[in-house]
Amino acid sequence: MPDESRIGRSRRATGRPSAGVGSRGSAAQAAGAGADDGVASGTRFAGGPDESPGFLLWQVTVTWQRAMASTLAPLGLTHPQFVLLACTWWLSRSGETPNQARVAARAGVEVKTASEVFARLEAKGLITRATDAEDSRAKAVRATPDGEALARRAVALVEDADARFFEGVDTGDVVSLLRRLGRTP
């Protein structure tokens, strides 16, 4: 018999709506069996999770991340390291001396996360960090010559891996869809 005190926990205890006894039905209904919508699979999608856009996006993302990790591992880079190194390199090529916050924004990551990754890149000799001339609170970042060479090589390998991953799919359609999905709500 399930521990009803755990199943029927309130929103106050978990921060989420209760999903069991005492909420909107029985524990079996909360799990999807016999739910009011009549779907026996536990999801509103007739074909189960294989028709759920979110679940499919998760599966594709995991597969793509594995492809990127295996592409970058021989270069000694993690995917976050690659993204921040490449963004630093790209922004520098456009004439900027970007700071950590600017690179983080371009990459779509939190500044704290970027700072931790930049510390690893700096330890590898791939970037330098110095006080930003325009904002003494910020750190300007620049790829070293080794960092630039690695960024160039890594970008080419990642673009090849992307081409293999998205083979048979219209790239314009994928880019358009991803831009729509990535919009700020």
HEC string of the chain equals CCCHHHHCCCHHHHCCCCCCCCCCCCHHHHHCCCCCCCCCCCCCCCCHHHHCHHHHHHHHHHHHHHHHHHHHHHHCCCHHHHHHHHHHHHHHHCCCCCEHHHHHHHHCCCHHHHHHHHHHHHHCCCEEEEECCCCCCCEEEEECHHHHHHHHHHHHHHHHHHHHHCCCCCHHHHHHHHHHHCCCC
> In this structure, are 108 and 41 located in the same domain?
no
> In this structure, are 42 and 61 located in the same domain?
no
Write the burial class of residue 118 (CB in 10 Å: 0-12 exposed, 13-18 middle, 19+ buried). Answer: buried
> In this structure, are 106 and 163 located in the same domain?
yes
Per-residue pLDDT tens digits for 113-167: 999 999 999 999 999 999 988 888 999 999 999 999 999 999 999 999 999 999 9
> In this structure, are 107 and 165 located in the same domain?
yes
> In this structure, are 90 and 35 located in the same domain?
no
The pTM (predicted TM-score) of the whole model is 0.73
Whose CA is closest to 59, among 124, 120, 67, 118? Answer: 67
> In this structure, are 67 and 128 located in the same domain?
yes
**Domain count of the fold of the chain:** 2
Domain that holds residue 17: 4-46
> In this structure, are 30 and 76 located in the same domain?
no
Q: How far is CA 118 from CA 96, 141, 149, 153, in A?
A: 17, 8, 17, 19
Specify the pLDDT at position 95.
87
> In this structure, are 65 and 107 located in the same domain?
yes
> In this structure, are 57 and 81 located in the same domain?
yes
* C-alpha torsion 180→181→182→184, nearest 10: 80
> In this structure, are 84 and 165 located in the same domain?
yes
> In this structure, are 84 and 141 located in the same domain?
yes
Per-residue pLDDT tens digits for 9-50: 333 333 333 333 333 343 444 444 444 454 456 888 888 888
Confidence band, pLDDT 50/70/90 cuts, at residue 184: low
